[in-house]
Amino acid sequence: MRTIAIVKRVLKQMMRDKRTLALMFLAPLLIMSLMYFLFQNNTTQTAALGVHGVDNAVVKAIDTKHVDITHYDSAAATKMIRQHDLAGYLTQKNGKLTITYANSNPTDTSLIKASLQAGLVKLRMQTLVKATKAQKKALTAQQQALQKLVKAQSAETVTKLKAAIAQAQASGNTAQVAKLQAQLKKVTAGSATKTATAKKAPTYSTASHYLYGSSDSTFFESFLPIFLGFFVFFFVFLISGISLLNERTTGTLSRLLATPIRRGEIITGYLIGYGIFAVIQTLLTVTFAITVFKIHLVGNIWLVFLINFLLALVALTFGIFISTFANSEFQMIQFIPLVVVPQIFFSGLIPVSGMATWLQWTAHIMPLYYGANALTDVVTKGADITAIGGNLLVLLGFMSVLTILNIVGMKRYRKV
Amino acid sequence: MGTNFITAQQVSKSFGTKHVLTDIDLTLPAGTIYGLIGPSGAGKTTLVKSIMGMEKVDHGTVTVMDAVMPNRQVMAKIGYMAQSDALYETLTARENLTFFGQLMSVAPKQLKQTIAYAANLVNLTKDLDLRVSDYSGGMKRRLSLAIALIQNPNLLILDEPTVGIDPELRQQIWEELNNLKATGKSILITTHVMDEAERCDYLMLIRRGIALAQGTPAELKAKYQVDSIEQVFLKAGRLQDADHSNR
């Protein structure tokens, strides 16, 4: 009953605060739209490469759509890079290629590196192909000669056999005729199969199949589930934390605790009240992503809601817990770079499995790591509840521990 | 004991090394207005919070309505008004009253009636649907008082209830407090307005956490041989400063 009173009050207060509502519901859509356009075209990036005295064949080989090649008259790489704002400079001296990278942008460096490597492989392949062609010519000539020989031989045998058959027929030996005819068949068939095997050459083609997503999959699609979780986590953390902070600084928390309400009832009321807003926010962002950006949701949409709801509860208890260490809204904002930003790094944007061991351990104390993992599994791989059960349990654990801490922490305001 | 609403015995409390309350005894019988007077920082609010069970006392015991404090259930029987207005500014006065009424377990059917009664008492009936953020300081104070009265409690604990309230309304409020007293309710009130102290049935002078004197206003005036509570207060203060053994 008292819990419901708290829930109603939280809802009313939120509904009155139009700006906070707009921030919670519209800001994620705005950020998502921006991300959609930012991550759509990531294949047309080009790096400027200067070349000097390089063989035309080499230049032709490394010329891809990712590098923009210009010829210069100077061999001074550093100078030319500085002067023309190049990403790399390629020179050739006595058949030796030297590349200098500006390396001010690692992406440009890797683009040039990749093009150069691909080009050199291409060149090597070309020489290899030439050599094989020559070999092939020699081989076919040999084969032809061989075939001629075989043909001549078999023709000789055929005429010999035919003569023998005629002789046998004339003498009336039918058994001998059948035997010789079978031999004749073998000889003619043998030459036929030989020509067939000589003609067959292996040709390979590739057909691509994607286990998750499709060939059009972009960064946006793989980041989206992570951001769905992050929005909920961030906004609920901030809004609930500041809201409880306000209760504390205006004295209403202390006043609340001068009523017979249980400390747990206050926390539960907050959990339900802000949980409702988290669900609405998830509903909006997911619907927006599916209808406007045509994102393909592989898994169950209710699981997405469940994960986000749990994440919201963790964010809420976390926000309330952190708010006890802040004395003003500004101090609450100061916690964002400390406790929210690091979570982004471990949410899966950067693959956690590629991190140093101690960093991987750090990831495991971040609630968002579990939430984003579960969301990615459901949205892109269609995981069911048993597959993400472990993540959900950890989130529940975070929530329980923080709730207990909050309830104990409120003892500062009332001893029972 | 059954007739006493509050019994505090030898209550001591310190924050770190600072003694805020030292061996305070307080007894509040039914049908009494008990005034706690003293300068700001004297420990009045700490004493009130200790009685409410919101502050843990270092020594001594507090009993409210036969229950040893802190006790959560007893809080439902106390109408409490904090020193600072703790109101939800984005909500209307009616919503604030409804919210606290629900927390105080007022039956939903009675809620409308008690809101009307409490609002009328503090003269806020026509402003009930205004948001609290549009209220003046005095109106907020009155709303806080109305919230304290929402569950029609037998015991009222009011921490500086009349700060910022104009004299006419203050008169009305005191009249109402006397009416409540007549129905057998008790009121513990803190104030530093001396003319209000004269209206109390019983007074405790508190300074630097020490109860300097207790008694009816008449008794105190006789004891210090002065003719106003203000002078009682000044004289008692000077005596405390002169007598360091009292500290």
- Report pLDDT digits (tens) over A204-219: 777 777 777 666 666 7
pLDDT at B75 over 90: no
In chain A, the residue whose alpha carbon lies closest to the alpha carbon of B83 is A251
Closest-CA distance of chain A to residue B123, Å: 22
User: Out of A99-108, A309-318, B96-105, which region has the weakest mean confidence (pLDDT)?
Assistant: A99-108
pLDDT of residue A374: 92
Q: Which of A100-109, A338-347, B1-10 is most confident?
A: A338-347
Closest-CA distance of chain B to residue A264, Å: 13
According to DSSP, residue B10 is labeled E
- Between A216 and A176, whose confidence is greater? A176
pLDDT digits (tens, 9 = 90+) for B104-136: 888 888 899 999 988 988 888 999 999 999 998
The mean pLDDT value for A218-246 works out to 86
- Among B56, B11, B35, B10, CA closest to B187: B35
Q: Among A9, A250, A413, select the one facing B54 at the smallest CB separation.
A: A413
In terms of C-beta density within 10 A (0-12 exposed, 13-18 middle, 19 or more buried), how is residue A282 classed? buried
- Is A63 near chain B, with CB under 8 Å? no
Give the integer Cα–Cα distance in Å for B221 and B203.
11
Closest-CA distance of chain A to residue B15, Å: 13
Percent of chain B exceeding pLDDT 90 equals 14
Give the integer Cα–Cα distance in Å for A31 and A18.
19
Q: Among A1, A251, A416, select the one facing B102 at the smallest CB separation.
A: A1
Give the integer Cα–Cα distance in Å for B181 and B160.
18
- Is A259 near chain B, with CB under 8 Å? yes
CB within 8 Å of A209: residues ≥ 6 apart: none
Give the integer Cα–Cα distance in Å for B9 and A304.
58
In chain B, the residue whose alpha carbon lies closest to the alpha carbon of A262 is B72
pLDDT of residue A220: 77
Cβ neighbours of B72 in A, within 8 Å: 260, 262, 416
Q: CB B103 to CB A258 under 8 A?
A: no
pLDDT of residue B131: 92
Q: CB A1 to CB B88 under 8 A?
A: no
Measured between alpha carbons, how far is residue A11 from residues A242, A243, A356, B132 in Å? Answer: 15, 12, 44, 17
Q: Judge whether A176 and A168 are in contact, CB under 8 Å.
A: yes
Rounded to the nearest 10°, the torsion over CA A123, A124, A126, A127 is 120
In chain B, the residue whose alpha carbon lies closest to the alpha carbon of A265 is B103
Q: CB A258 to CB B89 under 8 A?
A: no
Q: Among B90, B95, B104, select the one facing A17 at the smallest CB separation.
A: B90
Measured between alpha carbons, how far is residue B5 from residues A199, A262, A312, B9, B83 in Å? Answer: 112, 23, 45, 13, 21
pLDDT digits (tens, 9 = 90+) for A1-32: 889 999 999 999 989 888 888 988 999 899 88
- Is A255 near chain B, with CB under 8 Å? yes
Q: Judge whether A375 and A387 are in contact, CB under 8 Å.
A: no
Q: CB A252 to CB B87 under 8 A?
A: yes
pLDDT digits (tens, 9 = 90+) for B168-185: 888 888 888 888 888 888
Q: CB B89 to CB A415 under 8 A?
A: no
- Among A66, A78, A164, CA closest to A118: A66
Helix (H) or strand (E) run with residue A342 in it? helix A341-344
Task: With H, G, I as helix, E, B as strand and everything else as coil, classify residue A153.
Answer: helix
pLDDT of residue A405: 92
- Neighbouring-strand partners of residue B8: B26, B62
Q: Judge whether A370 and A394 are in contact, CB under 8 Å.
A: yes
Give the integer Cα–Cα distance in Å for A249 and A253.
8
The mean pLDDT value for A314-324 works out to 91
Q: CB A258 to CB B100 under 8 A?
A: no
- Is A121 near chain B, with CB under 8 Å? no
Report chain B residues touching chain A, CB-CB < 8 A: 52-56, 70-73, 75-76, 78, 80, 82, 84-91, 95, 99-100, 102-105
CB within 8 Å of A324: residues ≥ 6 apart: A248, A406, A409
Cβ neighbours of A8 in B, within 8 Å: 99
pLDDT at A234 over 70: yes
pLDDT of residue B92: 92
pLDDT of residue A201: 62
Closest-CA distance of chain A to residue B89, Å: 9
pLDDT of residue B188: 92
Closest-CA distance of chain B to residue A9, Å: 7
Quote the mean pLDDT of chain B: 85
Quote the mean pLDDT of chain A: 84
- Is A246 near chain B, with CB under 8 Å? no
Which pLDDT band, with edges at 50, 70 and 90, does A370 fall under? very high
pLDDT of residue A392: 93
Measured between alpha carbons, how far is residue A185 from residues A151, A175, A182, A192, A299 in Å? Answer: 14, 16, 5, 11, 64
In terms of C-beta density within 10 A (0-12 exposed, 13-18 middle, 19 or more buried), how is residue A215 classed? exposed
- State the residue for tokens 């030319």: A80
- State the residue for tokens 């819990």: A3
Which pLDDT band, with edges at 50, 70 and 90, does A416 fall under? low
Q: Judge whether B54 and A254 are in contact, CB under 8 Å.
A: yes
Cβ neighbours of B81 in A, within 8 Å: none
Which pLDDT band, with edges at 50, 70 and 90, does B247 fall under? very low
Neighbours of A416 (CB within 10 A): 17
In chain A, the residue whose alpha carbon lies closest to the alpha carbon of B74 is A260
pLDDT digits (tens, 9 = 90+) for A32-91: 888 888 877 655 678 888 888 888 888 888 887 788 888 888 888 888 888 888 888 888
Percent of chain A exceeding pLDDT 90 equals 11
Q: Judge whether B189 and B158 are in contact, CB under 8 Å.
A: yes
Closest-CA distance of chain B to residue A2, Å: 5
pLDDT of residue A402: 93
Give the integer Cα–Cα distance in Å for A192 and A188.
7
Give the integer Cα–Cα distance in Å for B105 and A188.
108
- Is A410 near chain B, with CB under 8 Å? no
Q: CB B72 to CB A12 under 8 A?
A: no
pTM: 0.72
In terms of C-beta density within 10 A (0-12 exposed, 13-18 middle, 19 or more buried), how is residue A342 classed? middle
pLDDT of residue B246: 47
Give the integer Cα–Cα distance in Å for A232 and B180.
51
- Among B183, B154, B157, CA closest to B36: B157
pLDDT at B98 over 60: yes
Domains of chain B: 30-39+72-236 (3.40.50.300)
The mean pLDDT value for B20-30 works out to 85
pLDDT at A367 over 80: yes
